[in-house]
Amino acid sequence: MKSAILFITLSTLSLIVKAEDDPPKSKKKKRNYLIELPASLNTDSVVATGTSTPAVDLPFKPSIQVGAIVHMFASGEQTGYSNPSADKSAKDWNKGFSLYRARVLVGGQLTKKASFFLETEIPSPIGIQSNGEKNVKVSPIILDAQLEYTFSNAFQLIAGMQLVSNNRNGLQGAAGLMANDFSYFQYPYNLFSNSPLQGNFGRDLGINARGFLANDKLEYRLGVFTGRNIDGGAPLRTVGRLAYNFLDAEKDFYYAGTKLGKGKTLAWAAGFDAQANYINYSTDVFFDYPLGNAGSITANAAFQYLSGGTDLSSKYSFATLIPKQTIQFLELGYYFKKVKLQPWIRYENQAISAEAEQTGGIKTASFDKVNSSSVMGGGLNYFFNGTGTNLRLSYTTRTYNVPTAADDYTKKTFGQIWLQAQFFIF
């Protein structure tokens, strides 16, 4: 099997080299030279015009682009928001300032068809942590490191460390979020190296195919990734997604969480994420449309079904790592273009319904209650310069079933306030 994979890889590389080295066989035609920057960089195409020199006569020159994204905020969070227990009071608040994201982005065009993207990140916020301690020194890590080759509009390959998800919110760019942060339940098992899927902030190592069909209305993504691997022999993780855009086409690698009235989007998608006996089926709908003279509406909804299966015999089993569950997600906002304000609301719910084999001996009713939770919140965004510079004020609550006695639970709700500033340039 490994020999076959090696053979396919070498064959693909040889085809890429040949495609780059072969001279064009068609006659030279006078046209404008279109430089298509990598879709993964979420930038507009750049067109060089006004020259009498035929485009094919211009020698290719590799290019590079550098940028940054920073999220910093002042916050207040009630004790128990991230880790509730019966002895934690919802009256206590942790307050402080944090540098939440500090990323350096580097991308560029290597050949006419090959591009790369590299991104760093701080692995934990600088400032006050959820445990109340202050974190002041963090070494950056590699977040994304990917190589993209465009064979055609219908077939591209992206290899390396990249964002992996079967749903839209999990594939959004951090700079284009509508809410203050990503959904709580899009990365519950793929966030850190000690998570069941051994992820890296939603990233994984592998090869991803992507393309556009039907006049760019239909997009597919299909990839194989490392996933959870404890001894080098685990089956690969497979992730797929099929999306159809009924209005404007979307070709960015990272999806937008809101478009601030630029364009008209109605997209529906379905996807899957699987490894060994773990499965995640999802469907999502995204709607962004100018509504009235005042501005535009944004709605983003998703549903997921997950389970780690019930097979306990395999060493690669996810049965005790990912219980059976459903996840519901909804964001709704309206952008007032004249005053550059966008109020939004969010609802999320993680409903655990574990099988007996998944609970480790705990009663399923108790297991389900303790591990299920919901999130509600809202906020107000002010866009100085779109996604480039903005300010976000949000209040979010998280509700848990907290045990008070044997087989007895009470609902407790904890709050979080963020005032977040963002700047982004690329």
Mean pLDDT of the chain: 86
282: β partners:
271, 304
CA atoms of 61 and 81, how far apart (whole Å): 52
- pLDDT recorded at residue 90: 58
Q: 């000690």: which residue's tokens?
A: 194
The predicted pLDDT at position 14 comes to 45
Closest of 159, 152, 269 to residue 223, by C-alpha: 159
Q: Does CATH place domain 65-425 in 3.40.50.1100? A: no
pLDDT tens column, 268-279: 999 999 999 999
How far apart, in whole angstroms, are the C-alpha atoms of residue 183 and residue 95? 22
pTM confidence score: 0.84
- Length of the chain equals 426
Q: Is 50 exceeded by the pLDDT of residue 25? A: no
Rounded CA separation 360/135 (Å): 35
When pLDDT is cut at 50, 70 and 90, the band that residue 8 belongs to is very low
Q: What integer is the mean pLDDT of 12-39? A: 38
- Among 158, 162, 37, 39, residue whose Cα is nearest residue 108: 37
- Looking at residue 89, its pLDDT comes to 56
40 pLDDT higher than 50:
no
Q: Which tens digit of pLDDT belongs to each residue from 332-377? A: 999 999 999 999 999 999 999 999 999 999 999 999 999 999 999 9
Span 266-314, pLDDT tens digits:
999 999 999 999 999 999 999 999 988 899 999 999 999 999 999 999 9
Tell me the per-residue pLDDT of 156-174, one tens digit each, with 9 for 90 and over: 999 999 999 999 999 999 9
Is 19:113 a contact under the CB 8 Å cutoff? Answer: yes
Higher pLDDT, 23 or 158: 158
Question: What is residue 57's predicted lDDT score, i.e. its pLDDT?
Answer: 66
Confidence at 37, pLDDT banded by 50, 70, 90: very low
What is the percent of the chain with per-residue pLDDT over 90, rounded to a whole number?
Answer: 71
Is the pLDDT at 44 greater than 50, yes or no? no
Could you tell me the residue ranges of all domains in the chain?
A: 65-425
Residue of 328, 305, 234, 233 whose CA lies nearest to 275: 234
pLDDT of 198-243, one tens digit each?
Answer: 999 999 999 999 999 999 999 999 999 999 999 989 999 999 999 9
393-425 per-position pLDDT tens digit = 999 999 999 888 777 888 999 999 999 999 999
Q: What percent of the chain has pLDDT over 70?
A: 84
Q: 220 by DSSP, 3-state: which?
A: strand
* pLDDT (tens digit per residue) in 120-164: 999 989 987 766 678 888 899 999 999 999 999 999 999 999 999
Check pLDDT > 70 for residue 5: no
Minimum mean pLDDT range among 53-57, 266-270, 321-325, 419-423: 53-57
pLDDT, tens digit, 9 for 90 and up, residues 85-121 = 655 555 688 888 999 999 999 999 999 999 999 999 9
